[in-house]
Amino acid sequence: MTIKSLAAAAAVALLLLAVALFAVRSAPSTAAAKMANFQHVIVIVQENRTPDNLFQGLCAAPFGSASRCSTKPGPGQYDIQQSNWLDKTSPGGTIQPGLIALNNRYDLSHAHSGWFAQCDPDGSGACRMDGAAGVRCGPPANCAPHPQFKIVDNSAGLVSPYLQLATQYGWANEMFQTNQGPSYPAHQFLFGGTSAPSAADDANGIFASENMSGKSIGGLAKTAGCTARPRTRVKLIDPSGQETRSVYPCFEHQTMGDLFSGAVTWRYYSPKPGSIWTAPNSIKHICQSTGPGGKCIGPVWTQHLDFGPSDVLNDIGSCNLRSVSWVIPTGANSDHANVNDGNGPSWVASIVNAVGNSKKCDKGQGYWENTAIIITWDDWGGWYDHVPPPILSQPQGDYQYGFRVPLIVVSAYTPKNYVNNLRHDFGSILRFVEHNFGIGEGALNFSDARSKSNLAGFFNLAAPPRKFQDVGAPKNADYFLNDKRRASDPDDQ
């Protein structure tokens, strides 16, 4: 064969290869094609709810039925208790739950002492789950009778976006917050896998267990982390369950952000730099504080932190969504009792709809088919839940696990009406992110290593991607993008 004929044959081969590649790229999105991993993961963190409190709508029309809910769930059933909630202070030991508005005007303790009261441990350490009446309520003038034993009223449809997401995609029956306490340590676990001041403390079972205290109104510190005021302290819990020590809330250990490299980018959206919800502010090498009462000025901080939660909607619309995003709401959109305005479900729906309707990003493919959205709540908020948490062995067992919180998983590869019965916690979310981006599961050696699941059951990446359907909601993205109110703290306890 001559050089000229070889060149001609090579040209034909290249042309055939180009046609084949074009055919693959032009194949309909409904064609079955195995996807190796998601390009984007969004972790949306709401506030202070349990499945029994917020998701009773799964047990009634139009989203479900009483037969779909059971305290001993079979395949496809939701583990929701509809009546006869345990209460050791009531005659017969049970109480019937009442209705409460999502934006009710009282709050319940979600400190470690509240967890202990509600758990009511037996002699072996297992929770009896009949002590919710011992959870403090305030302000007292606003507290309804039996304030802990309430179901969120959905007669106005405010909760319907959550119920639609749970039934259209994936729901976890056994999602537990990792820690037995409030928001500050919960967000440390959600971002860094631990609330311990150091890796050595984590190994020894010593964790930050409460929100901040300090010289401020009501004894609660207004800021957290490495820029908190000098007298700010956070309590530590030890393996004996005692909270006798406290420290300034500036820690040093690896976080998920330290595991990302190369093309894996991240952003943490939060309403305020010093909020107890802004987990990176407590990590010394990320914050690089100018000093107590000062500011975080580190390059990682300035590059990856965003203090406008609705900016996530702008970033989706402008094709600037990072590989991993933590999305923390304002207090008004948080579901936190006594501070929210009822728009939390609409807030979450606006993010999901923005992803689902993205058409131009990622080389014209849009975000829907390459994004996983994980929606969870950071703690139980003092509300009743009937499922006793498993307790880890020592030394971590002094503070792990907390009570159940809701978990919804949304993606084009999550089957409709999928109910998962494996045990999950915040470490499961970190393991999923690690697995998805090729990082060894448990790389932090914190809760990501102690967790036994990675949410893999929620996805079938070999299946054709599902077509997106809008999530109906009272408010849409325009409302949140144009909301000019000053951001409130999501948690005031």
Contacts of 107 (CB under 8 A, 6+ apart): 137, 138, 336, 337, 338, 339, 381, 382, 492, 493
Helix count (H) and strand count (E) of the chain? 15, 17
> Which structure tokens are listed for 461?
């990446």
Cβ atoms of 149 and 98 within 8 Å: the answer is yes
CB-count exposure of residue 444 (10 Å: 0-12, 13-18, 19+): buried
Residue 478 DSSP symbol: H
Judging by DSSP bridges, how do beta strands 150-152 and 98-100 pair with one another?
A: parallel
pLDDT by residue, tens only, the chain of 493 residues: 443 343 444 443 433 333 333 333 333 333 344 567 999 999 999 999 999 999 999 999 999 999 999 999 999 999 999 999 999 999 999 999 999 999 999 999 999 999 999 999 998 889 999 999 999 999 999 999 999 999 999 999 999 999 999 999 999 999 999 999 999 999 999 999 999 999 999 999 999 999 998 754 345 567 899 999 999 999 999 999 999 999 999 999 999 999 999 899 999 999 999 999 999 999 999 999 999 999 999 999 999 999 999 999 999 999 999 999 999 999 999 999 999 999 999 999 999 999 999 999 999 999 999 999 999 999 999 999 999 999 998 999 889 999 999 999 999 999 999 999 999 999 999 999 999 999 999 999 999 999 999 999 999 999 999 999 999 999 999 999 999 888 776 554 4
Query: CA-based diameter of the chain, in Å?
Result: 99
Rounded Cα–Cα distance for residues 62 and 273 (Å): 41
Cβ atoms of 177 and 425 within 8 Å: the answer is yes
**Side-chain-side CA neighbours of residue 84 (13 Å):** 3
Which residue carries 């340590």 as its tokens?
185
Rounded Cα–Cα distance for residues 437 and 311 (Å): 24
* DSSP per residue, 42-63: EEEEE-S--HHHH-GGGGSTTT
Q: What is the reported pTM? A: 0.91
Predicted pLDDT at 130:
98
Predicted pLDDT at 485:
85
Buried b (16+ CB within 10 A) or exposed e, 184-217: bbbbbbbbbbbbbbebebbeebbbbbbbbbbeee
Rounded Cα–Cα distance for residues 199 and 195 (Å): 10
Contacts of 444 (CB under 8 A, 6+ apart): 192, 193, 194, 254, 255, 256, 259, 430
- In order of start, what are the domains of the chain with their CATH numbers? 37-83+154-194+249-481 (3.40.720)
Rounded Cα–Cα distance for residues 176 and 173 (Å): 9
Judging by DSSP bridges, how do beta strands 418-424 and 324-327 pair with one another?
A: unpaired
Contacts of 49 (CB under 8 A, 6+ apart): 152, 335, 377, 380, 381, 383, 405, 406
